[in-house]
Amino acid sequence: MIVSAKWKGLTDAKLDNAEVIVEGRDDYAPGSIDYVMSFTPPPGKLASLPNLKAAFCLGAGVDGFLSDPNYPRRVPLVRFVDRTLSAEMTQYLLLQILMHHRRQRFFDAAQRAGQWRQETLQRRTEDTRIGFLGLGAIGSFAAKRLIDLGFQVSGWSRTPKDIPELKSFTGDVALAAFLGEVDILICLLALTRQTAGILNAKTFAALPKGAFVINVARGAHLVEPDLIAALDCGHLSGAALDVFAEEPLPSQSPLWAHADVTITPHIAAVSQPQVVLDYIRDGIAVFERGETPATVVDINTAY
């Protein structure tokens, strides 16, 4: 088992069914590596390991692997799925949604000004429409909690989803109809060639005036100048961003100072090292039995 030296918390990991080799620290023969755990392995690294049985992604998205044009397609790629990760992401989404829905930024400004300014909700909870771009494990988990709170919830995904009280949209043809019914848009898509740049001027224009955008997927989903333009013209009311095309976000980025943008530094949900190790330990055991874990990714679709 080989792990990147950059991955904090795992460089001293011990697995009862594998010796852990740290890339850049330990010497090893390429043919001795059976498994890899990483988030963004160096291009060509996996192709250089002739006996590799499987690769384990240390996060929910696998674009860090599939962006390598030389990824060996014979090697199964395992996505990290964890209920705690889903719960933490849901907490983050609830925080941003409720801060917007309950107009907390308005009251923060009133407090700074020393003013007693009462304001009602822009719309009732049951009239507030929340839409998910992507309804995988995390999106489905979060959608159910928002339904429980009384919001109208819909989702756009590759395949139809059967979630009680959720309106499901599927395929490119349905995207515009989906966007037209969304007051708060959440991006949780996997990053693929098809989804890169999906948060763009055309998408924002399809949303109702005053819509709010949350991106917790990948920075490459968002065309940042298009977002700023949609905010500045008043079509969008705000955005909460946890991921960016360049991380750390450069100090000169206009997003930092934009009054209608909330920025967090890619911390919406963080994989805990011990949970990751347990997941990988169990996954290796499955492969060693000659079986395949349920969370192996389809290389063609990146899901």
The question of whether 266 is a catalytic residue gets the answer yes
3-state secondary structure of 163: coil
Instruction: Give the gyration radius of the chain's Cα atoms.
Output: 21
Tell me how far apart the alpha carbons of residues 45 and 36 are, in angstroms, rounded to a whole number.
10
Are 134 and 187 in contact by the 8 Å Cβ rule? The answer is: yes
φ and ψ at residue 277, rounded to 5 degrees: -60, -45
d(CA 272, CA 293) in angstroms, rounded, equals 20
What whole-number distance in Å separates Cα of residue 39 and Cα of residue 61? 8
Q: What element of type H or E holds 179?
A: helix 175-179
Question: Helix 137-148 crosses helix 83-101 at what angle (to 10 degrees)?
Answer: 50
Give the list of residues 6+ apart from residue 179 with CB closer than 8 angstroms, or none. 131, 185, 203, 206, 207
Burial 122-140 (b: 16+ CB within 10 A, else e): eeeeeebbbbbbbbbbbbb
Distance in angstroms (rounded) separating the CA atoms of residues 7 and 204? 35
Three-class SS state of 281: helix
Q: Which of 100, 218, 221, 289 is catalytic?
A: 218
State how far the Cα of 303 lies from the Cα of 290, in Å rounded to an integer. 22
- The SS3 of residue 231 is helix
Q: Is 281 a catalytic residue?
A: no
Element (H, E) at 237: strand 236-241
Active-site position among 105, 235, 266, 281: 266
Catalytic positions are 218, 266
